[in-house]
Structure 1
Amino acid sequence: MLKIVPDPPHLYPPTLEDTLIQASEYARCALAVSHQAIQLQPRSPASTLILASTHELESLRVLLESALIQVQMPAEPGARH
């Protein structure tokens, strides 16, 4: 059954981890769109720009995943400087 009324917004600010997860999802969606655009119009004059965008989005996704891993790692007791 579909929800008619959406969930209320969170009253607390999102954590850094939540923000990185959401940014990763946006990057993944944008990457899927760029892949689809290239498949639909492989010989388009804009295909070079779409491929460049795809490459940049893939780099962004990797950076976001790396940041998320760093946030999720437990802090080691002797790692502070």
Structure 2
Amino acid sequence: NESRKILEIPELKVSGTCVRVPVFSGHSLQINARFARPIGVERAYELLKDAEGVELSEIPTPLQAAGKDASFVGRIRVDETVEHGL
């Protein structure tokens, strides 16, 4: 699994799907994450706001990220389909 190799976490439980859409620049990801203990949306934003290489945006778009190295993160919300999920 490519994610396990890149992150160097062989025990990482991940299931990825790639959906390609025609945009002029960039890639977009939608990620669901399950945590060992509860984490709220506000706490997630708090943890990410000072993370290196992360830029928070209300609604990130490929155009907004064009020509920049940062990963734009936004629209974080609770995933009610899994325990402790965002």
Larger Rg: 1
- Normalising by structure 1, report the TM-score: 0.23
- Normalising by structure 2, report the TM-score: 0.22
Answer 1 or 2: which has greater helix percent: 1
Task: Select the structure with the greater relative contact order (CA < 8 A; seq sep ≥ 6).
Answer: 1
